[in-house]
Amino acid sequence: MLPLETLRSGETGRVVDLDGQLDLVQRLQELGLRLGATVQMLREGTPLLIAIDGQRLSFRPDARTMVLVEPA
């Protein structure tokens, strides 16, 4: 398991854990970052850009939440 932000451009991973404040985790789930979801890193950096469920999501990782993925 690796933090989402460690994926390189073009790599994909499956979300295996979401950790952090409950309200923030729930918001990420509403946006599609759920357990089992497949994400593709489109652009590294801050904010990073990922593709999930046919949508693009700009995401700025911080200390309050952790998205862990299993690289594909």
pLDDT tens, residue by residue, 3-52: 999 999 999 999 999 999 999 999 999 999 999 999 999 999 999 999 99
Percent of all residues in the chain with a pLDDT value above 70, rounded to a whole number: 100
CB of 71 within 8 A of CB of 8?
A: no
Q: CATH number for the domain including 53?
A: 2.30.30.90
How many folded domains does the chain comprise? 1
Q: Model's pTM, two decimal places?
A: 0.89
- Find residue 71's DSSP bridge partners: 13
- Domain of 42 in residue numbering reads as 2-71
pLDDT score for 59? 86
Split at pLDDT 50, 70, 90, the class of 64 is confident
Pairwise CA distance, residues 17 & 66, whole Å? 8
